[in-house]
Amino acid sequence: MSAAESANAIQRNQVDLLDFIDWSGVECLNQSSSHSLSNALKQGYREDEGLNLESDADEQLLIYIPFTQVIKLHSIVVMGSEEDGPKTVKLFANREHMGFSNVSDFPPSDTAVLSPDNLKGKPVVLKYVKFQNVRSLTIFIEDNQSGSEITKVQKIALYGSTVETTDMKGLKKIEDH
């Protein structure tokens, strides 16, 4: 399979991973209580431009998203305003319970510097090879476009595909013949 074909194959298979997020384990450090992560992640809220995820004490945000099954992450979309939207975004795969103090302890799986185009909705393609076997994703928003005290994120969307895992719902009892 040539590189171009494989790239196309990947493009065709990517789905919005919203359905595979394990909502009970989703956490966000330094979020403002009135503007929480749901405003950026959840269906409906993330489309609403008036509802944002905002940071609280300073401009950094640390978002932890576990998944219900193993996925491959292809690209992400981060939308926000031109001034307060995020700039440097670091992604860590399969690192549980990170804190602001250990973000610099190990290198991120990928780093994205968002341009104004990205903030309008253009997806950021990630290093696919680094995200082949992802159980949880940590998104570290390091700073924002204008350097202001509060970072505002309107939407975060993840695109990728699932690894072939057993669908428990599809299991059927063997009929006695």
Partner 1 sequence: MVLEATMICIDNSEWMRNGDYAPSRFQAQADAVNLICGAKTQSNPENTVGVLTMAGKGVRVLVTPTSDLGKILACMHGLEIGGEMNLAAGIQVAQLALKHRQNKKQQQRIIVFAGSPVMHDKKALEMIGKKLKKNSVALDIVNFGEDDGGKTEKLEALLAAVNNNDTSHIVHVPAGPNALSDVLISTPIFTGDGEGGSGFAASAAAAAAGGVSGFEFGVDPNLDPELALALRVSMEEERARQEAAAKQAAEEASKEEKGGEEQDATMTERASEGASEADNKKIEIADDDDTSLQQALAMSMDEPTSSQDLQDTEMSDAAAEDPELALALQLSVQDSTKDSSSQADVSKLLADQSFVSSILASLPGVDPNDPSVKEVLASMQNQSEPQQKQDEDKAPKKEEEK
Task: Give the range of 15-23, 94-102, 116-124, 154-162 binding partner 1 by CB under 8 A.
Answer: 94-102
Between 59 and 110, name the residue whose CB sits nearer to partner 1.
59
Question: CA–CA separation, 134 vs 15, rounded Å?
Answer: 15
Give the C-alpha distances (Å, rounded to integers) separating 116 from 64, 93, 95, 120: 24, 25, 29, 6
Does residue number 58 form part of the binding site for partner 1 (CB under 8 A)?
Answer: yes
Exactly one of 97, 172, 173, 177 binds partner 1 (CB under 8 A); which one? 97
Judge whether 73 and 131 are in contact, CB under 8 Å. yes
In whole angstroms, how close is the CB of 92 to partner 1 at the nearest point?
Answer: 15
Exactly one of 44, 50, 101, 117 binds partner 1 (CB under 8 A); which one? 101
Among the listed residues 42, 46, 53, the one whose alpha carbon sits nearest the alpha carbon of residue 155: 46
Does residue number 109 form part of the binding site for partner 1 (CB under 8 A)?
Answer: no
In whole angstroms, how close is the CB of 141 to partner 1 at the nearest point?
Answer: 13
First-to-final CA distance of the chain? 44
Q: What are the b/e assignments for 134-167, b being 16+ CB within 10 Å? A: bebbbbbbbbbbeeeeebbbbbbbbbbbbeeeee
In whole angstroms, how close is the CB of 97 to partner 1 at the nearest point?
Answer: 4
Exactly one of 1, 4, 12, 99 binds partner 1 (CB under 8 A); which one? 99
The residues of the shown chain that bind partner 1, judged by CB under 8 A, are 29-30, 33, 56-58, 60, 96-97, 99-101
